[in-house]
Amino acid sequence: MSIEIIPAIDIMHGKCVRLTQGEYASQKIYNEHPLEVARQFEDAGLKKLHLVDLDGAKEGRVKNWKVLETIAGKTDLIIDFGGGIGASSDLKIVFDSGAAFATIGSMAVKNEALLREWMLIYSPEKFLLGADVREEKISITGWTVNTDIWIYDFIEKYIEAGIRQIFCTDILLDGAMKGPSLDLYKKILERFPDLHFIASGGIRSLDDIHLLEEAGCKGAIVGKAIYEGLITLKDLANVN
């Protein structure tokens, strides 16, 4: 399989949780110890980790950087970290704590000038752009605020600015176990065929991942399907 499977760990109050459709009230705790989960992924042969600070996303500043520091210090996983990166001090904490990439979503909408400044300092390659969408329009601030920004305009602007890695989450499918947003991803890849595009949300099975691979996705972020046992660590080890 040429598509890269990237497991997700969502952190709230230092614990590994999952939300459904971004609703904080829907949180389900899967493990009190995120490092344990990260080590299981590494043991299954996975190389990368998508680490999300849900508290940070809600508050607009990085909160769970200690979890990042622990996982980065005790595994060899290549970590992208997002949630609450709203100031230069947040970004410094994220890179100093061991993240290989900073995941940027809300900031790309709220403060484009500062993001462009960061890209000059750290290089565009250090950033993973997160496009969270409801009906092809961007949502920000932990999915609590909807905008009128069309996904295609958003992607085009940042490709022109030098961003090469983008992941897209269809919020209405995230955690819903109804399958990924294949039609949306195909449309995006038709417009931007050279994009390093990572799918996120709704993935239920290895079959879904094969469909994403056929559509041209380079990566797939998988969370709930692993935690609910629909995709097992053994499956992941076999794939790798």
Residues marked active site are found at: 10, 132
Phi, psi of 196 (to 5 degrees): -80, 90
The SS3 assignment for 49 reads strand
Q: How far is CA 228 from CA 10, 17, 18, in A?
A: 14, 12, 10
Closest CA to 59 of 83, 27, 34: 83
d(CA 93, CA 6): 23
Q: How far is CA 38 from CA 42, 48, 74, 221, in A?
A: 6, 10, 9, 14
195: which DSSP letter?
S
d(CA 140, CA 115): 15
Instruction: Provide the residue count of the chain.
Output: 240
Q: Are strands 101-104 and 4-12 parallel, antiparallel or unpaired?
A: unpaired
Are 79 and 98 a contacting pair, CB within 8 Å? yes
Phi, psi of 43 (to 5 degrees): -65, -30
